[in-house]
C-alpha cells in the first residue's frame, strides 16, 4: 500500500499529512499563524512566510511520528506539495522542504494544485462516493463551481469575476467592526437577525454560472451608511442570505444543466450554516447525495494535497525538481 506525505503552505496554514493508497488519512497536522494576522484584518504575506519557515520542520516531524514512521528515514513512497495558487513566499517554503526531503529520501515528488486538493477532500471522508459530482468551492481566495466527471477529471463551470465569497465575508465583517476571519462571526450573528431587514440585491442573476460579490459588498456599505440605526445582527443575516441565495441559485442552475450523482461543498465558507442547509435541501430536491466535509476537511490541510498527489503521481508521474511555485495557477490549467 503506497504512502504519500502531503505538504501544504499556500496561505496561513502550515500542514503535513500521511495518506495511503486507499485515501485513508494516517496522520494529519495543521498549524495556523492566524493569530499573528488578526490585528491586520487579513493575512499578511510576509508574516505568513516567516511562520512557515519556523513551523514546517516540527509539523512534518510530528506528522511522521503520529503515523508511526521513522522521522529520519520514513518508508514513504512519494511527497506531494502545493505549488500554487497561493502566496509566493509561503508556497516556496513548502516546495523547498518537499524537494529537499524527496532528494534526501530518494522518493518522487509531485506538485499539486491547491484547488484540486480541495476537490479531493470529500473523498477522504467518503471513499465510496459516486461520480459525477458538482462541487461548490468557496474559500477566502476562491469561489468556483466545478463539475467532477470522475476522479481527477474536472471542469470549471463558473467562478467569481471579482471577490471570493470568504473575502466578501471578511471585508463586510471588518466594515462592521467584527473580528477576523469574518465568516464565522457573521454566521454566528446572523442566527439572531432578520434576513429581510436590509434590502440587498442578489448579484449575477444571468444564466451563466459565474459569481460576483463586490456589488453586494458596496450595497451593504451604502445601506448601513444610510440606515445607521439598523441592528448588526440584521445586517449579518441580510448579507448572509444574499450571499447564499446567489451561491445556491447558481448551484441549482448547474444541477439542472448537468446530471450528477452528488453535490459537494469545499473550502472555508463550506462551514457556513445557511449554505450547508441549503446544499442539503438542494441534494434532496434533486435526489442526489450531499457531501459536506467536516470543518477540518473544508479548511486548508495537507491530507487533501496528499490525496490529489496520489492521483497525480499515478496518472501523470512525478514533477521535475526544477519546478517552481506558481502563485496564479488556475484549476482550469491543471492537466
Ligand atoms: O479555505 P480557508 O480556510 O482559507 C482559504 O481562504 O484558503 O477559508 C477561509 C475563509 C475566510 O474568508 C472565512 O471568513 C471563511 O472561510 N469562513 C466562513 C465561515 N467559516 C470560515 N465564511 C462564512 N461562514 C462561515 N461559517
Ligand atoms: Zn484553500
**pLDDT tens track for 132-174:** 999 999 999 999 999 999 999 999 999 999 999 999 999 999 9
Residues 145 and 115 in one domain: no
Residues 64 and 88 in one domain: yes
pLDDT for residue 64 is more than 90: yes
- Ion ligand 2, residue ranges at CB < 5 A: 139, 300
The pLDDT, as a whole number, for residue 203 is 76
The pLDDT, as a whole number, for residue 202 is 80
The pLDDT, as a whole number, for residue 128 is 84
The pLDDT, as a whole number, for residue 206 is 76
Is residue 269 in contact with ligand 1, taking CB distance under 6 Å? yes
- Site to probe by mutation for ligand 1, drawn from 136, 241, 269 as the one with most ligand atoms within 8 Å of Cβ, is 269
Residues 172 and 219 in one domain: yes
List the domain range (segments joined by +) for residue 137: 131-293
The pLDDT, as a whole number, for residue 83 is 98
Is residue 181 in contact with ligand 1, taking CB distance under 6 Å? yes
Is residue 18 in contact with ligand 1, taking CB distance under 6 Å? no
The pLDDT, as a whole number, for residue 5 is 98
pLDDT digit string, tens, across residues 163-213: 999 999 999 999 999 988 999 999 999 999 999 899 998 877 777 999 999
Q: Which residues, at least 6 apart from 178, have a Cβ–Cβ distance to it below 8 Å?
A: 185, 186, 189
The pLDDT, as a whole number, for residue 127 is 83
Instruction: With respect to residue 126, please indicate whether it lies within any of the assigned structural domains.
Output: no
Here the CATH number for the domain that contains residue 253 is 3.30.420.40
Please give the tally of structural domains in the chain.
Answer: 2
- Site to probe by mutation for ligand 1, drawn from 183, 217, 244 as the one with most ligand atoms within 8 Å of Cβ, is 183
Segment 286-308 mean pLDDT: 95
Per DSSP, the residues of 33-80 read: -HHHHGGGTS--HHHHHHHHHHHHHHHHHHHHHHTT--SSS---SEEE
Residues 103 and 149 in one domain: no
Instruction: With respect to residue 255, please indicate whether it lies within any of the assigned structural domains.
Output: yes
Instruction: With respect to residue 114, please indicate whether it lies within any of the assigned structural domains.
Output: yes
Residues 289 and 301 in one domain: no
Verdict on whether the full-model pTM lies above 0.85 = yes
Nearest alpha carbon, ligand 1 atom 13: 183
Residues 155 and 288 in one domain: yes
Amino acid at each position: 500500500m503506497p504512502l504519500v506525505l502531503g505538504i501544504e503552505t499556500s496561505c496561513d496554514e502550515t500542514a503535513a499529512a500521511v495518506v495511503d493508497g486507499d485515501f485513508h488519512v494516517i496522520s494529519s497536522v495543521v498549524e495556523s499563524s492566524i493569530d499573528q494576522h488578526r490585528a491586520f484584518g487579513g493575512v499578511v504575506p510576509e508574516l505568513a512566510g516567516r511562520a512557515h519557515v519556523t513551523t514546517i520542520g516540527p509539523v512534518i516531524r510530528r506528522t511522521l511520528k503520529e503515523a508511526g514512521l521513522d522521522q529520519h528515514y520514513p518508508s514513504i513512497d512519494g511527497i506531494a506539495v502545493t505549488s500554487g495558487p497561493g502566496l509566493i513566499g509561503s508556497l516556496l517554503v513548502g516546495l523547498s522542504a518537499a524537494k529537499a526531503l524527496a532528494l534526501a529520501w530518494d522518493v518522487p515528488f509531485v506538485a499539486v494544485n491547491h484547488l484540486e486538493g480541495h476537490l479531493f477532500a470529500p473523498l477522504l471522508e467518503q471513499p465510496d462516493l459516486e461520480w459525477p459530482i458538482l462541487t461548490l468551492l468557496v474559500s477566502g481566495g476562491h469561489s468556483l463551481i466545478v463539475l467532477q466527471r470522475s476522479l481527477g477529471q474536472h471542469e470549471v463551470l463558473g467562478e467569481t469575476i471579482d471577490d471570493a465569497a470568504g473575502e466578501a465575508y471578511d471585508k463586510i465583517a471588518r466594515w462592521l467592526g467584527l473580528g477576523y476571519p469574518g465568516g464565522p462571526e457573521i454566521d454566528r450573528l446572523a442566527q439572531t437577525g432578520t434576513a429581510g431587514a436590509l434590502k440587498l440585491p442578489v448579484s449575477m442573476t444571468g444564466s451563466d454560472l459565474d459569481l460576483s460579490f463586490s456589488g453586494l459588498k458596496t450595497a451593504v456599505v451604502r445601506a448601513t451608511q444610510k440606515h445607521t440605526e439598523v441592528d448588526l445582527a440584521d445586517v449579518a443575516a441580510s448579507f448572509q442570505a444574499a450571499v447564499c441565495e446567489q451561491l445556491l441559485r447558481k448551484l441549482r442552475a448547474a444541477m439542472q444543466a448537468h446530471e450528477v450523482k452528488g453535490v459537494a461543498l469545499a473550502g472555508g465558507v463550506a462551514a457556513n450554516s445557511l449554505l450547508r442547509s441549503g446544499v442539503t435541501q438542494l441534494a434532496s430536491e434533486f435526489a442526489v447525495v450531499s457531501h459536506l466535509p467536516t470543518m477540518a476537511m473544508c479548511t486548508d490541510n495537507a491530507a487533501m494535497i496528499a490525496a490529489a498527489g496520489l492521483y497525480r503521481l499515478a496518472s501523470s508521474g512525478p514533477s521535475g525538481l526544477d519546478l517552481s511555485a506558481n502563485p496564479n495557477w488556475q484549476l482550469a490549467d491543471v492537466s
